[in-house]
Amino acid sequence: MAPLALVVAGFLVYSVPPYLTLDPAQSRVPAPAGFAAHYWFLVAHITFGTIAIVGVVLQIWPWLRRTHPVVHRRVGRVYVFAGALPSAVMAGIIGAVSPFGPVVGALDVVAALLWLGFTLAGWRAIRQRRYADHRKWMVRSFAMTMNTLMSRALSPIAFLLVMPRVEDKEELILTAGTLSAVLSVLSLLLLSQWWLDRKPATAR
């Protein structure tokens, strides 16, 4: 939990401050032509996303789940309704008009829909007291919560892979961004499924 919390904290310290000023000029995502409200959808996505990523770290903390189940349930409601669901909706909207090309835009929309679907399925399962199904869906929801963080982490690798083959700077950025987005979604889906399918070690 400690390494994960440190990575998430570092990601938030790097990503969030430029948007606290509410100054569109400091946005790291260029606004697409013809969509004047893009910046405010982006700010909303980041605000709800910050709640989601902090909430989900608390949710997967085994100690908190075991010793404080009431806190786990309350944080879970915050994660679902004040974090993941609204952030996923905002992500789908800004992804549909992504300035980073149609492939990245399509992947952003797909990732947003997966995040939305996994979270709703997890919430529905716990309401029906299907605890095993709830755990599975929320592991997948956690994976999609980490999508932006993972894509940023994979960006340097994508640049190193693409750089020898692409000379134009703009094309390099778009190609590397596309590659990191693809690798992020695929790796998170595969890792989450591996985690669910793995066999626990035999107890001594």
The DSSP secondary structure of 7-45, one letter per residue, reads: HHHHHHHHHSHHHHT--GGG-SSPPPTT-TTHHHHHHHH
pLDDT score at 201: 57
Q: How far is it, in rounded angstroms, from Cα 176 to Cα 183?
A: 11
| pLDDT value, residue 135 | 93
Q: What is the pTM of this model?
A: 0.89
Helices (H) and strands (E) in the chain, counts: 10, 0
CA distance linking residue 55 with residue 79, whole number of Å: 5
Backbone dihedral region for residue 36 (phi beyond 0: left; psi -120 to 50: alpha; all else: beta): alpha
Contact between residue 141 and residue 56 where contact means Cβ atoms under 8 Å apart? yes
Give me the pLDDT at residue 23, please. Answer: 92
Low-confidence ranges of the chain (pLDDT < 70): 199-204
- What pLDDT, on the 0 to 100 scale, is given for residue 34? 82
DSSP 80: I
Q: What is the predicted pLDDT for the residue at 167? A: 78
Instruction: At 16, give phi and psi (nearest 5°).
Output: -80, -45
154, 148, 141, 155: which is closest to 107 by C-alpha?
148
Residues in the chain, overall count: 204
Q: Please say whether the beta carbons of 48 and 90 come within 8 A.
A: yes
Calculate the alpha carbon distances from 140 to 81, 146, 148 in Å.
17, 10, 15
Taking the C-alpha atoms of residue 12 and residue 71, their distance in angstroms, rounded to an integer, is: 23
